[in-house]
Amino acid sequence: MTTFLLTCALVGGVLLLAQLVFGSIGAEHDATTHDGSLTPLHNGAHEASSGLQLFSVRALTAAVAFFGIGGLGARSLGAATPLTIITAILLGAMGMFGVAVSMRAMLGLQRDATLDIRNAMGKVGTVYVPVPGSLGGVGKVTLAVQGRTVEYQAVTLEGSVLPTGAPVVVVGIRDDDVLEVLLLSSVDGVQ
């Protein structure tokens, strides 16, 4: 029994260490997903909301390692064989669950936070630097995009200057990352 538990602890520990080393240099991405499972990624992305990956390679490896360590610990305290097996199974399950929860938390941090100007379409903002009328020049507006307040250069097709503090709505985006805005009260259906 002790030899089996020691083998589980060593094999699981060595495999976990190897996964950590290969994961830190990026070598794992050829055969596995970001969470260590053998399921291919969809379009190169992983959704952190897809649930716990209890049966990923990492989680199963952790289960084997903790099974061996837990069993050896119980054995060294003089526990009987049934109690040793129960302890090993419980610690193996806790290790598997712990790794799955940790991987889910880490994958949640990998979202792309790059600001996409296209998400500004239809957003309401405020003029920060007056916007000259009739494409007469560039001003600046501030608005909330993707959960943060940003400042963009802006132009308007309207005839009059949009003064500082005026509420505007984004109606277009120019190729040079300049927003086209209109005074909020001049947009149909918006008060």
Q: Where are the domains of the chain?
A: 2-108, 117-186
Which 3 state secondary structure label does DSSP give 99? helix
Q: Token match 């952790």: residue? A: 62
Beta strands 179-183 and 148-156, pairing class: parallel
pLDDT reported for residue 66: 92
Where does 47-104 show beta strands of DSSP type E?
A: none
Could you tell me the mean pLDDT of each successive run of 10 residues in the chain, 191 residues long?
A: 90 87 66 44 43 78 92 91 92 90 78 81 94 92 92 91 94 89 74 38
- According to DSSP, residue 40 is labeled P
125 beta partners? 143, 168
CB of 113 closer than 8 Å to CB of 99: no
CATH fold of 117-186 reads OB fold (Dihydrolipoamide Acetyltransferase, E2P) (2.40.50)
CB of 180 closer than 8 Å to CB of 133: no
Which 3 state secondary structure label does DSSP give 191? coil
Cα-based angle 149, 154, 157 (whole degrees, multiple of 5): 140
pLDDT reported for residue 50: 55
